[in-house]
Structure 1
Amino acid sequence: MQISNFGNFPGIIPVIIEDEVFVYPFMIAPIFISDEANIKAANKAMEQNNLVFVSCAKNSQEQKRFKDSFYDVGVIGNIMRKVTLPDGRVKLLFQGLTKGKILSLQDENPLQALIDVIIYKEYDADKINAIMEVLREKVTSLANISQFFPPDMLKTIDDNDDPNRIIDLIASTLRLKKDQSYKLFASNDTEERLLSLIDMVIEEIQTQKLQKEIKSKVHNKMEQINKEYFLKEQLKQIQKELGVDKQRDEEINQYYQKLEKIKPFMEEDAHKEVKKQIDRLNRMHQDSADANIIQNYIEWVLEIPFGKMSKKKLSIKNVQKQLDKDHYSLQKPKERVVEYFAVKELLSLRDKNNTEGKGTILCFYGPPGVGKTSLANSIAKAIGRPLVRIALGGLEDVNELRGHRRTYLGAMPGRIVQGLIEAKEMNPVIVLDEIDKVGRSMRGDPTSVLLEILDPEQNVAFRDYYTNFNLDLSKIIFIATANDIFNIPVPLRDRMEFISVSSYTPQEKEEIAKKYLIPQELKKHGLKSSEITLNSQAIKLIIEKYTREAGVRNLRRTIATIMRKCAKNILQSKETFKKITITPKEIPQYLDKIVFEIDEIAKENKIGIINGLAWTSVGGDVLKIESIKIKGKGLLTLTGSLGDVMKESARIAFSVIKVLIDSDTLKITQKKSKKIKKDQETQIYNLYDIHIHVPEGATPKDGPSAGIALASSIASILCEKKTRSDIAMTGELTLTGAVLPIGGLKEKLIAAHKAGIKKVLIPEKNYKRDLIDMPEEVKQEIEILPVKTIEEVLKEVLI
Structure 2
Amino acid sequence: MELENYDSFPQEIPLIIEDDIFLYPFMIAPLFLSNEENIKAVEDAIEQNKLVIVTVSKPGQEGKREKESFYDVGVVGNIMRKVSLPDGKVKVLFQGLTKGEIKNFSEDNPIYAFVDRLIDEEYSQESVNSIIDVLREQVKKLSRINSKFPVDLIKTIEENDDATRIADLISSVLRVKKEDAYKLFSERNVEKRLLEIIETIKKEIESFKIQKEITQKVNSKIEKTHKDYFLKEQIKAIQKELGTDNQKDVEIKGYKRKLKKLKPFMPKDGYKETKKQIEKLSRMHQDSPDSALLQTYVENVLDVPFGKYSDEKISVENVENQLDHDHYSLEKPKERISEYFAVKEMLEERKIESLKSKGTVLCFVGPPGVGKTSLANSISKALKRPLVRIALGGMEDVNELRGHRRTYVGAMPGRIVKGLVDAKTMNPVIVLDEIDKLGANHRGDPTAVMLEVLDPEQNNDFRDLYLNFAIDLSQVIFVATANDARNIPAPLRDRMEFIEMSSYTPNEKYHIAKDYLIPQELEKHGLKRSEIVLSKTTIEIIISKYTREAGVRNLRRVFAKLFRKAVKKLLKNKDLKKVSINTKNLKEYLDNPIFEIDPAEKKNSIGVTNGLAWTAVGGDVLKTEAVKLRGKGILSVTGNMGDVMKESSKISYSVVKLLIDNKKLKIDKKIIPLTQKEKEEKVELEPSEVYKRFDIHLHIPEGATPKDGPSAGITMATTIASILSEREVRSDIAMTGELTLTGKVLPIGGLKEKLIAAYKAKMKLALIPRKNFQRDLDEIPSEVKEAMQIKAVDTIEDVLKEALV
TM above 0.5: yes
Q: What are the equivalent positions in structure 2 for 1:261-660 lying under 5 Å apart?
A: 261-351=261-351, 353-354=353-354, 356-574=356-574, 576-660=575-659
The residue correspondences of 1:165-176 to structure 2 (distance < 5 A) are none
Q: Which of 765, 771, 778 is the equivalent residue of 1:759? A: 765
Q: 1:713 aligns with which of 700, 719, 738?
A: 719
Tell me if the contact between 2:669 and 2:685 (Cα under 8 Å) persists in the aligned partners.
no
Indicate if the aligned counterparts of 1:348 and 1:354 stay in contact, CA closer than 8 A. no
How far apart are 1:780 and its partner, in Å?
0.8
Aligned counterpart, 2:251: 251
- Say if 1:347 and 1:357, in contact at 8 Å, map to a contact too: no
2:503 counterpart SS class:
coil
User: How big is each residue's C-alpha offset from its partner over 1:659-692, in whole Å with a ceiling of 9 and x where there is no partner?
Assistant: 0110111111264369685344462111111111
| Cα separation, 1, equivalents of 2:726 and 2:353 | 75
The SS at the match of 2:776 is: helix
Structure 1 pair 277–763 and aligned structure 2 pair: CA distance change class (3 A): same
For the pair 1:678 / 2:683, whether they are aligned, the reply is yes
Offset of residue 244 of structure 1: 8.2
> Which amino acid in structure 2 is aligned with residue 702 of structure 1?
D
Instruction: Report the AA paired with residue 660 of structure 1.
Output: L
Render the CA deviation track for 1:255-281: whole Å, top value 9, x for unaligned.
111111111111111111111111111
1:181 match: none
Is contact 1:395-1:438 (8 Å) kept?
A: yes
1:776 aligns to 2:782 (yes or no): yes
- Paired residues of 2:606 and 2:726 also in contact (CA < 8 A): yes
Question: Radius of gyration: which is bigger?
Answer: 1
Output the CA distance in 1 between the equivalents of 2:603 and 2:340: 51
Cα pair 1:347 1:354 within 8 Å, conserved: no
SS in 2 for 1:547: coil
Query: Cα 1:241–1:757, aligned 2, differ >3 Å: closer, same or farther?
Result: same
Task: Give the deviation of 1:242 after TM superposition.
Answer: 10
Closer, same or farther in 2 for the Cα pair 1:355/1:527, shift >3 Å? Answer: farther
For 1:242 and 1:321, locate their aligned partners in 2 and report how far apart those are by CA, in whole Å.
67
Per the alignment, residue 103 of structure 2 pairs with: none
Task: Specify the code of the residue in structure 2 equivalent to 1:251.
Answer: E
Give 2:109's aligned residue: none
Letter in 2 for 1:392: L
Higher mean Cα deviation, 637-646 or 330-339?
Answer: 637-646
1:587 and 1:674 mapped to 2: Cα distance? 55
Quote the offset at 1:435 in angstroms.
Answer: 0.6
Question: Structure 2 regions of 5+ residues with no counterpart?
Answer: 1-233
Whether contact under 8 Å (1:637, 1:691) holds in the other structure is: yes
Deviations 1:285-342 (A, max 9, x none): 1111211111100000000000000000100000000001111111111111001101
Please state whether the residue corresponding to 1:322 is helix, strand or coil: helix
Deviations 1:21-40 (A, max 9, x none): xxxxxxxxxxxxxxxxxxxx
Root mean square deviation, CA, Å: 1.9
Give the CA deviation at 1:592.
2.0
* Residue of structure 2 in register with 1:790 after alignment: 796
Aligned equivalents of 1:356, 1:249: Cα separation in 2: 43
Counterpart of 2:748, as a letter, is I
* Matched letter for residue 564 of structure 1: R
1:636-673 CA-partner distances (Å, limit 9, x unpaired): 12111111111111111110010011011111126436
For residues 111-122 of structure 1, the aligned pairs below 5 Å read none
Moved more, 596-605 or 576-585: 576-585
- Aligned mates of 2:296, 2:671 — CA distance in 1: 87
Amino acid at match of 1:657: V
> Could you tell me how far 1:237 is from its partner in structure 2?
6.9
| 1:355 Cα offset (Å) | 8.1
Name the count of aligned residue pairs: 567
SS at 1:503 equivalent? coil
> Relative to 1, partners in 2 of residues 1:729 and 1:408: Cα closer, same or farther, differing over 3 Å?
same
1:492-539 deviation per Cα after TM superposition (whole angstroms, max 9, x unaligned): 111111111111111100100000000000000000001102111111
- Give secondary structure in 1 for the equivalent of 2:667: coil
User: Distance between the aligned counterparts of 1:237 and 1:540, measured in 2?
Assistant: 76
Aligned partners of 1:716 and 1:723 also within 8 Å: yes
C-alpha distance after superposition, 1:618-648 (max 9, x if no partner): 1111001111111111111211111111111
In the alignment, the residues of structure 2 paired with residue 663 and residue 731 of structure 1 have an alpha-carbon distance, to the nearest angstrom, of 23
Normalising to structure 1: TM-score of the pair? 0.69
- Measured after TM superposition, the shift of residue 245 of structure 1 is 2.2
Give the secondary structure class of the aligned counterpart of 1:373. helix
1:354 Cα deviation after fit:
4.8
757 and 458 in structure 1: CA distance in 2 versus 1, 3 angstrom threshold:
same
TM-fit CA distance, 1:405: 0.7
Q: Please state how far the C-alpha of 1:399 moved relative to its aligned partner.
A: 0.7
Q: Residues 629 and 695 of structure 2 are in contact (CA less than 8 Å); yes or no, is this contact kept in structure 1?
A: yes
1:607 counterpart SS class: coil
Provide TM-score, normalisation by structure 2: 0.69
Question: Which of 750, 754, 767 is equivalent to 1:748?
Answer: 754
Deviations 1:550-608 (A, max 9, x none): 1000000000000000000000110x213222111121010122111111111101111
- Counterpart CA distance in 1 for 2:429 and 2:467 is 22
* 1:744-788 superposed Cα distances (whole Å, 9 cap, x missing partner): 111100000000001000000000111111111001111000000
Say if 2:326 and 2:378, in contact at 8 Å, map to a contact too: yes
Q: Distance in 2 between matches of 1:680 and 1:791?
A: 24
What is the Cα deviation at residue 357 of structure 1? 3.2
SS of residue matched to 2:369: coil
Whole-Å Cα distance in 1 between the matches of residues 596 and 672 of structure 2?
Answer: 42
Structure 2 partner of 1:723:
729
Deviations 1:32-77 (A, max 9, x none): xxxxxxxxxxxxxxxxxxxxxxxxxxxxxxxxxxxxxxxxxxxxxx
**Partner deviation per Cα, 1:192-226 (whole Å, 9 max, x = no partner):** xxxxxxxxxxxxxxxxxxxxxxxxxxxxxxxxxxx
Amino acid at match of 1:326: D
Alpha-carbon separation, structure 2, partners of 1:418 and 1:573: 51
Paired with 2:581 and 2:685, the residues of 1 have a C-alpha distance of 69
Structure 2 counterpart of 1:736, one-letter code: T
Separation in 2 of the partners of 1:767 and 1:242? 87
Residue in 2 aligned with 1:699? 705
Q: Secondary structure at the match of 1:245?
A: coil
Q: Secondary structure, in 3 states, of the residue corresponding to 1:498?
A: strand
Query: Partner letter of residue 507 of structure 1?
Result: N
Note if contact 2:570-2:578 (Cα within 8 Å) is conserved in structure 1: no
d(CA) in 2 for partners of 1:713, 1:350: 62
The one-letter code matched in structure 1 to 2:656 is I
Distance 2:763 2:527 in 1: 40
Change (3 A) 1:242 1:591: farther
